[in-house]
């Protein structure tokens, strides 16, 4: 029998505005993906999820019709966040995708002293929306009941005030559940002023990592530390 959590449900996950009604509105892009990319036929199983913990089984037909009761998953005990600078090429997109798969709730873009890439003001919203679509697709693939949020760039001085913030830096301590926001530096590392901000530092291992790799390793560590508290 199918399990009671989204991960053990059958069929592709579709995020919709609500799952309580009998005629949910499914985005045209999602319908195109089901029929043209996945090549699903009428009668195929799908799952509707509101991205906030509620989901239900459904079937594909002339429309997407719910067939099961609404199930609800409990929210995690706290949110975990990765802060990272934008990097060249498609490496930021890759980091957002993989950090989402690891279970991060908030993906915060960051401006630091040694930032290599900065977005023009008129491109910020469009770029964040693109990253949000990548995170959404990754969340569906990894069957997440809670959608992550991608946040536009903020200055380092604002990031250090986020709850449970710590810097990823050599010589730090191991990540534990008290770290809820991991700040990853640029390729050239944090400046002396940033390292002297007063935040604790945590280690991501013995080797030097690229920005996107550090973001994903940090995401996995934060999620595992949170899971350990849930297992109690």
Interval 155-171: pLDDT, tens: 999 999 999 999 999 99
Task: Tell me the Ramachandran region of residue 144: left when phi exceeds 0, alpha when psi lies from -120 to 50, beta otherwise.
Answer: beta
- pTM of the entire predicted model: 0.92
User: What gap in Å lies between CA 190 and CA 194, rounded to an integer?
Assistant: 6
Which residues of the chain does CATH 3.40.1280.10 include? Answer: 81-231
Euclidean distance between CA atoms 68 and 228, whole angstroms = 32
**CATH 1.10.10.60 describes domain 6-72:** no
The fold for domain 81-231 equals Alpha/beta knot (3.40.1280)
Q: Please report, rounded to a whole number, the percentage of residues in the chain having pLDDT higher than 90.
A: 74
Average pLDDT of span 115-139: 95
pLDDT at res. 28: 82
Percent helix, strand, coil in the chain (nearest 5)? Answer: 30, 25, 45
């Amino acid at each position: 029998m199918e399990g009671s959590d989204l991960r053990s449900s059958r069929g592709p996950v579709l995020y919709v505005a609500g799952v309580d009604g009998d005629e949910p509105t499914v985005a045209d892009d999602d319908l195109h993906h089901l029929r043209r990319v996945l090549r699903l036929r009428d009668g195929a199983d799908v799952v509707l999820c509101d991205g906030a913990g509620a989901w239900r089984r459904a079937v594909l037909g002339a429309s997407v019709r719910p067939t099961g009761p609404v199930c609800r998953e409990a929210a995690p005990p706290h949110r975990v966040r990765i802060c990272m600078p934008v990097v060249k090429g498609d490496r930021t997109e890759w980091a957002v995708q993989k950090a989402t798969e690891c279970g991060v709730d908030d993906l915060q873009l960051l401006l630091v002293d040694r930032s290599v890439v900065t977005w023009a003001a008129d491109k910020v919203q469009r770029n964040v929306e693109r990253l949000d679509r990548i995170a959404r697709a990754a969340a569906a693939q990894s069957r997440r009941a809670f959608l992550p949020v991608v946040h536009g760039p903020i200055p380092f001085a604002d990031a250090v005030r986020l709850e449970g913030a710590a810097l990823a830096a050599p010589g730090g301590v191991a990540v534990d559940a008290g770290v809820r926001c991991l700040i990853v530096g640029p390729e050239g590392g944090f400046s002396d002023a940033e390292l002297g901000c007063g935040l604790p530092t945590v280690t991501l291992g013995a080797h030097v990592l690229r920005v996107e790799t550090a973001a994903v390793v940090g995401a996995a560590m934060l999620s595992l530390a949170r899971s350990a508290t849930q297992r109690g």
